[in-house]
Amino acid sequence: MANINIRIAGIGGQGVVLSGIILGRTASVYEGKNAVQTQSYGSSARGGDVCSEIIISNKKIIYPQVLKSDILIALSQKAVDKYRDQILEGGTLIVDKDLTKLEFETEKFKVYGESFNKTAIDEFNNKTVANMIMLGYLVKKTEIVDVELLKKSILESVPVETKEINIKALNKGMLLAQ
């Protein structure tokens, strides 16, 4: 595949942007590929719609935005509704199944649902690690980046005191994907 186009969409506070940065950093700094990440959001830091887009490629990336995505990770109902028509044929949709209702059937792309937010609260007592559970799940399902390099990238991107819990959450996500 020349380009991998990933769109992560949800609500401010879910770690949507950070997840995109971590994926981009893993691919570019650690795997030596090209990566670009852009984002769109409203003016509120929490609670507004937010979308983070990442392109990973072996070639130089000219056009920086995702038009149709190979992978959509939707963490809110609005994200599913807004972006599911822009998934490429043969692509992948991953949703937080407790935050979304999938009232459609499709053979165009694969659909996976998992409890990222609920698992973060129930098992880690900390909903901010839901994005790490999601990343673990994503990488296990799609193998878009190397897991060990992803861990390195996470360790570089999160505050020191949260390193352990973030890696544990990532491992949990990978376990859920098995």
Partner 1 sequence: MKNNKTDFIQGNIACVEGAIVAGCKFFAGYPITPASEIAEHMSERMFQVNGTFIQTEDELSSIAAVVGSSWAGAKAMTATSGPGISLMQENIGLAIATETPLVIVDVQRGGPSTGSPSISLQGDTIQVKYGSQGEYQVISIAPSSPQEMFDYTIWAFNIAEKFRTPVFVMADVMVGHMREQVEYPEDYNELEIFDRKILDDPDSTEGRFLSTEVAPMPIFGNGFKANVTGSTHDEFGWRNVSDPKVMDNFIKKLTNKILNNKSEIIRTEKEYMEDAEVVLLSYGSVSRAALETVHTAREKEIKVGSYRLVTVWPFPEKEISKMSENVEKIIVLENNLGQIYPYVRSAVDGKAEVELLSPSVLGEFFEPNYILNKIKEAK
Q: Give the gyration radius of the chain's Cα atoms.
A: 15
Q: DSSP assignment of 15-27, as one string?
A: -HHHHHHHHHHII
Burial of 46 (0-12, 13-18, 19+ CB in 10 A): exposed
Using rule CB under 8 A, residue 58 touches partner 1? no
Contact 117, 96 (CB under 8 A): yes
Of 3, 12, 13, 41, the residue at the interface with partner 1 (CB under 8 A) is 41
Cβ proximity to partner 1, 8 vs 99, nearer residue: 8
Residues that bind partner 1 (rule: CB under 8 A) add up to a total of 22
Residue type, 48: G
Cβ proximity to partner 1, 21 vs 147, nearer residue: 21
Is the dihedral angle over the CA atoms 98, 100, 102, 106 positive or is it negative? negative
Of 39, 58, 77, 162, the residue at the interface with partner 1 (CB under 8 A) is 39
Cβ proximity to partner 1, 56 vs 94, nearer residue: 56
Q: At what angle do helices 163-176 and 116-124 cross, to 10 degrees?
A: 130
* List of E strands, the chain: 3-11, 34-41, 49-57, 69-74, 87-96, 110-114
Cβ proximity to partner 1, 26 vs 119, nearer residue: 26
The distance of closest approach from Cβ of residue 147 to partner 1 in the complex, given in angstroms and rounded to an integer, is 18
Of 64, 122, 148, 175, the residue at the interface with partner 1 (CB under 8 A) is 64
Of 3, 12, 13, 38, the residue at the interface with partner 1 (CB under 8 A) is 38
Of 1, 63, 105, 159, the residue at the interface with partner 1 (CB under 8 A) is 63
- In the complex, which residues of this chain contact partner 1 (CB under 8 A)? 21, 24-25, 28-29, 32, 34-43, 61-65, 67
